[in-house]
Every structure is written in C-alpha cells, then in structure tokens.
Amino acid sequence: MISVKVLDNANYGDVSTLIAGVEWVLKQPGDKRLVNMSLTRKALYPPADSLLDIAVTALIDADIPVIVAAGNSRSDARHYSPARVPEVITVGALDGKKIAATSNSGNMVDIYTQGENILSAAIGDTCGQVVKSGTSMAAARVAGRAVLMMANGIVPKSLATALQGEATRVETGNFTGETSRFVLDTGGAGDLNNPLCPDATKPLAAPEH
C-alpha cells in the first residue's frame, strides 16, 4: 500500500497536484492496482471539461479501479469531482442505519458503508491511532474490501457489481435522486491490530467531520 501525497498539511491542494498524483500512479508497474481517493472537490465545470475527471478516467481506461469519497457537504455527489465520474466507485458514509449527517448522496453514489467514529492511524507516531468520520473513511473501508476481491480473482470491470452483490439493497422512495441504495457491511469500527504495536495507544482525538 502506497500513500501518494497530493494535499498540504491543511488538507488543501490544487487540481494540477491531484493530476500529478494520478500520473504517478499510471507510471507504476504491476497488473493489479487499485486507487482510493479519499478526497473530492466542488466541480466548477461540466464533466466534459473537468481536468480532474479526465485524469481519473485515464486510470479507469488503464484498468485501474478507482474508489472515491462522495464528499462531506450534505449535497448531491453529482456536483463533486471525481465523485461524479460514472466509472468510479463512489462511496457515501453511514451513521448506523442512516446516512451520516455530512455525507453527500444521490444517484452517483454506488455504495454506502459505515463512516462514523472509525479507528484509523494517526500521523507522527507509527503506533498512533485516531478516530475519524466522513466519506473518506467509508471509501477506505470499501477499498479494503475491494482489494480482497481482486486478490480472489475479481477483475476491475466487475468490481462495482461484486461489491453491490455483497451489499444489502435498501429502498429509499426518492431521496436526493436515489430510489434505492446499496449498503455494504464492512465490519466493526476498526482495529489496527498492528503486530508491530502490541501496546498501541488509545485514540488520540475526537471524531472529525
């Protein structure tokens, strides 16, 4: 697993830096690759004109599946890039059985999973832990499941269908463009279970949104 830094310490980055990250991934060797993009941005241009959308589509064309956070703006994911790209797997966040208060939604969201109070790794300490919330956490959890599927022979073009096949379909009536949604059970809130850190620290911070 390789972390590609495209944001600064305040979690901001311009489109050219994001595209540079995509280009770096495209240049890496290997037949089995998967990209998790726990980031999204309000799109200022139509999809046909969005450079970030075009860059992410290049990953898809290279047979590299892309899992993207839907965004945390309580809005329709179709207004956000690259969450709105039809070929990516866009992930929304749940809080228990309902959509998390900040999660984007709509018919561009392919799947939902738990995204509230998720135990993750903290920076600055190899054994540090932190509790976070949001679609970024949900997307990372779906990416983990996707990696296991690919290891078991699921090809990239079938990945979205396979993930939805493991999910429960929930009828919604008509909620922000959704008549139904797929809910994937990705287990508990998280356990680092790091063999290098048998005495890993307790979570360092309150949930982040």
pTM of the model: 0.87
Shortest CA distance to 193 belongs to which of 121, 113, 140? 121
Which three-class secondary structure state does DSSP give residue 136? helix
CA distance between the termini of the chain: 25
How far apart CA 114 and CA 188 sit, in angstroms, is 9
pLDDT band at 174 (very low <50, low <70, confident <90, very high): low
Express each pLDDT in 27-70 by its tens digit. 998 878 999 999 988 987 777 779 999 999 999 999 999 999 99
**Rounded Cα distance, 72 and 102, in Å:** 5
In this structure, are residues 95 and 128 in contact, taking their beta carbons and an 8 Å threshold? no
How many angstroms separate the CA atoms of 84 and 42, rounded? 10
- Give the DSSP H or E segment for 130: strand 129-132
φ, ψ for residue 45 (rounded to 5)?
A: -130, 160
Q: Output the six-digit token pair for 55.
A: 């860059």
- Residue-range domain boundaries for the chain: 15-183
pLDDT, tens only, 82-123: 999 999 999 999 998 889 999 999 989 999 999 999 988 887
Total Cβ atoms within 10 A of residue 139? 28
CATH architecture of 15-183: 3-Layer(aba) Sandwich (3.40)
Written as six digits, the tokens of 60 are 């898809």
pLDDT at 209: 46
Q: Which residues pair with 41 in a beta bridge?
A: 81
